[in-house]
Amino acid sequence: MQDQPLTITKTDLQDMMVATIKAAREPNSTEQRKIDADDKEFEQAQSIRLQTAESQKQEIASKRFVAKTCTHRRKDGSYRVTHVQERNGPGYMLCLWNQCKIRPGIAPEGYEGIDVYSTDKFNELFQANPAMGEIFV
Ligand SMILES: [Zn+2]
């Protein structure tokens, strides 16, 4: 059988080249399995990150709630706090029940921590605190 002459247009040739290059770039089945496994691993890691972030958010919310509702007192009504002096500023009152930190003044803008900002509460606790309980940091 003799080969028949074949006529190909420029567009046909271009289409064939594009299809060939595309096929050559496609991952083979082994490569595709690796890609799928990587995708699955990434999704699992992402899911774990989201769960961790959510549990940390809940933990912070829980600590914030405890700090705001804690009386910082012993059963006999006396405060169980100590003054922590920081290098700068008035420091804070540390509750020895729940590690609540009560700071004077107003929370910095955008503050998302768990410290309680209340000048009145800080003053009350500071005045009720025996000076020998001071901690310097
Ligand atoms: Zn407390």
Say how many Å lie between the CA of residue 59 and the centre of ligand 1: 16
Q: Using the 8-state DSSP alphabet, how is residue 76 labeled? A: T
Give burial (CB, 10 Å; 0-12/13-18/19+) of 24: exposed
In this structure, which residues have their CB less than 5 angstroms from ion ligand 1?
A: 70, 72, 95, 97-98, 100
Cα angle vertex 85, ends 79, 88, to 5°? 140
- Sorted by sequence, the CB contacts under 8 Å of residue 91 that are 6+ apart come out as 83, 84, 85
Q: What is the pLDDT of residues 47-90, one digit of tens each?
A: 999 999 999 999 999 999 999 899 999 999 888 999 999 988 89
Amino acid at 121: K
pTM: 0.62
Q: What is the pLDDT of residues 92-110, one digit of tens each?
A: 999 999 999 999 999 999 9
